[in-house]
Amino acid sequence: MEKNETATLQKLFLSKIKDLVPSNLSLADELCDLLGISSDSAYRRLRGETALTIDEVAILCKHYRISLDSVGSYESETVTFNYHFIKNRDEYKKYLETIKSELGKILAARERVIYYAAVDIPVFYNFNFPLVSLFKSFYWLKSVVNNPEMAAMKFSRDFADPEISELGKDVFKIYSAIPSVEIWNEGSVSSLVKQIGYYWESGLFESSEDALELCNQLEQEMNLIQRQAEISRKLLDENHPGGEPNNFTMYFSEIEIGNNCILATAGDMKAVYLSHSTFNKIVTLNPGFCEGTAEWINNLIKKSNLISGVSEKQRYQFFKSVKEKIQQLKEKIK
């Protein structure tokens, strides 16, 4: 590779990192701290006069959780993914810490937006409703991961972990401050209703009170999201907005989405998060893959109906259908 081409690639790599650095911090200072170099050396790297070493690139990729192919060729058919598999509660806690960190970097970017094609309820909302969040993590670890320590356990609110609960609330608050475009379909809520129903019919609830309270919180969650859609703005609760006005756009798709998919943009940086093995996630910053995902999401939006801010009748019908399913489940439990 020619020297000028190397310098251009390095500048592009560092410019993508700059998008992830909070506006009140200097990228040069970040390089000094992370790489243990002088201010002059940092600026020489920023100008492309001194090449980053392989070790320095590795340090930056690890710290900012980006991959080398994030500045590679758009024509490459090879895509690098970061992944994290969860097998127990400690790893689930680390998973939440990672989400919190990554959302924080997106929030700190000058321009940012999250596109979420939702097969299930977007996971961030669950964290605002303790029993819903607790059930999802319990179901995940017991029924999907098959954690042997939970083989004989039934679901109970006693399973709660205060540290995990606080982490989840932090994640929800950060997500609420980031503008997002969400695409839901008929099955986005049905999957959770079916999971609760399966546990009830299988005798996997410790008590009917826990099962009913879980349904009540799911109903509250839907009420909050419906209210968000009405005013096109994210909410922390009924009385407190979670960000600037018009930061929430919601679409209803009659087309099968197929997989939970998140496209996050932070400045010029794009990242795609895909669900894998039900609840785990794989992540890539590959430009070609991100552009292809953006095209898919845009096409999905074109074929979907906007139900936030407008389409009052269609919005009402969607949430009415969702709440009827929850009510039917509550009647079954009663």
> Which tens digit of pLDDT belongs to each residue from 296-331?
999 999 999 999 999 999 999 999 999 999 999 999
Token pair listed for 166:
């606080």
Alpha helices in the chain (DSSP H): 3-18, 27-35, 39-47, 54-64, 89-108, 123-126, 130-139, 162-176, 187-201, 208-231, 287-302, 312-333
Angle at 179 between CA 178 and CA 182, to 5 degrees: 115
The pLDDT value given to residue 231:
96
User: Which residues on neighbouring strands pair with residue 251, listed in sequence order?
Assistant: 183, 306
Mean pLDDT of the chain: 89
Q: What do you get for the CA distance between the two ends of the chain, in Å?
A: 70
As given in the structure block, the two tokens for residue 88 are 């127990």
In tens, the pLDDT along 23-52 reads 778 888 989 999 999 989 888 888 888 888
Secondary structure of residue 261 in the 3-state scheme: strand
Contact 261, 120 (CB under 8 A): no
| Residue 222 to residue 132: CA distance in whole angstroms | 12
pLDDT class for 6, splitting at 50, 70, 90? low
Query: Has this prediction a pTM greater than 0.95?
Result: no
Reduced to 3 states, what is the DSSP secondary structure of residue 237?
strand
Residue 145 confidence (pLDDT) above 80: yes
Rounded-to-integer distance, Cα 153 and Cα 150, Å:
5
The predicted-structure confidence for 152-187, as pLDDT tens digits, reads as follows 999 999 998 999 999 999 999 999 999 999 999 988
Tell me, what's the pLDDT at 142? 92
Q: What is the DSSP letter of 36?
A: T
Higher pLDDT, 23 or 205: 205
What pLDDT score does 80 carry? 77
- The mean pLDDT value for 212-221 works out to 97
Tokens 């689930």 correspond to: 92
Kindly report, residue by residue over 253-298, the tens digit of the pLDDT.
998 888 899 999 988 888 999 988 767 788 888 888 999 999 999 9
Per-residue pLDDT of 103-121, as tens digits, reads: 998 998 888 999 999 999 9
Q: How far apart are CA 223 and CA 121, in angstroms?
A: 13
- The span from the CA of 107 to the CA of 192, in Å, is 28
pLDDT for position 299:
95
The residue extents of the domains of the chain are: 3-64, 82-333
Task: Supply the pLDDT for residue 5.
Answer: 60
Identify the three-state secondary structure at position 83: strand
